[in-house]
Amino acid sequence: MSDFDLESWRVRLGEACEGTRFSSAEVLPTCRSTQDVAATLPTGSVVAAGEQSAGRGRRGRQWSDGGGRSASISFVVDSMASARLSTASVLAVLDSITSLGGRKSSVGCKFPNDVVDRGGLKLAGVLVEGNVDRMVIGIGLNVVPLAEEPASISLEGLGIHTTRIDVMKALLRALDRRLSCEVNRLRADFAANDVLLGRGVVLKHHQQRFTGTLVACDPFGMLVVDTTEGHRAIPAEQCTILEWSV
Ligand code: BTN
């Protein structure tokens, strides 16, 4: 049964905006993508949907909310480097999980934009889009299990029983705090929660592939892979993780 309630979501998200950089919350029963709605709104806007019919992820992927099983929310913010926005957002997801009673050690971040459990199952994804004027941060976080996505996990699967509106309120407040963090703090906190460090990876940068063990991962700088030919430092920008071993 869906936990969607238009009026209560509007009121509760509006309350969550108080004292933050976010000034107004729009709630839609359904839309194609909250990203598209948010892109038409000014900085400080928040858009949440009970369901998305065409949710999207990074690199042209689809994002399915399993018919209203995930928290789907977009935030319009001032333009900033997208690495800063995505790193702050991933850490905000981790902060909100802790604030909802989850154990920090059960989940971690996977460069650049995912939150996964320690077995590699995806819990949440972040999509940053925009232009020189403003950016839209979209966060999708699974709250109850998505039967059709076997490589995913939900908060319920991690033993956190909550509602989507409570998740979105926690995300809003955590994101507001994380967007004020210095880059060095974001870098350190990302490293402390990085699930890829020490794992076997295949990375792609432009047309080149690198296979080996990931020994450093700085979203604002370089990823370093220990390959059979020695250490290779690869700029984080434009770097894609093609494979990783759990
Ligand atoms: C990814 O995993 O590649 C990112 C997924 C981002 C999904 C969220 S849900 C809210 C917002 N609306 C969308 O269409 N996408 C983002």
Using a pLDDT cut of 70, give the percent of the chain over it: 100
* pLDDT single digits (tens) 2-33: 799 999 999 999 999 999 999 999 999 999 99
Pick from 28, 30, 72, 77 the residue to mutate for probing ligand 1's pocket: most ligand atoms within 8 Å of its CB: 72
Q: Which atom of ligand 1 is the closest one to the Cα of 73? A: 10
Determine if ligand 1 sits within 6 Å of the CB of residue 86.
no
> pLDDT (tens digit, 9 = 90+) per residue, 43-73?
999 999 999 999 999 999 999 988 889 999 9
Atom of ligand 1 nearest to the CA of 56: 14
Of 127, 139, 146, 149, best ligand 1 pocket probe by most atoms within 8 Å of the beta carbon? 127
What are the DSSP calls for the chain, one per residue? -----HHHHHHHHHHHHTTSS--EEEEEEEES-HHHHHTTS-TTEEEEEEEESS-B-GGG-B---TTTTEEEEEEEEE---HHHHHHHHHHHHHHHHHHTT--GGGEEEETTTEEEETTS-EEEEEEEEE-SSEEEEEEEEE-S--TT-TTB--TGGGT----HHHHHHHHHHHHHHHTTS-HHHHHHHHHHTBSSTTSEEEEEETTEEEEEEEEEE-TTSEEEEEETTEEEEEESTTEEEEEE--
Strand ranges across the sheet with 208-217: 230-235, 222-227, 208-217, 200-205, 239-244
Instruction: Say if residue 1's pLDDT is above 70.
Output: no
pLDDT digits (tens, 9 = 90+) for 67-109: 889 999 999 999 999 999 999 999 999 999 999 998 878 899 9
In this prediction, residues 118-127 reach a mean pLDDT of 95
Task: Work out the average pLDDT over 120-136.
Answer: 94
Q: Give the residue whose CA is nearest to atom 15 of ligand 1.
A: 56
Residue 56 CA to ligand 1 center (angstroms) comes to: 5
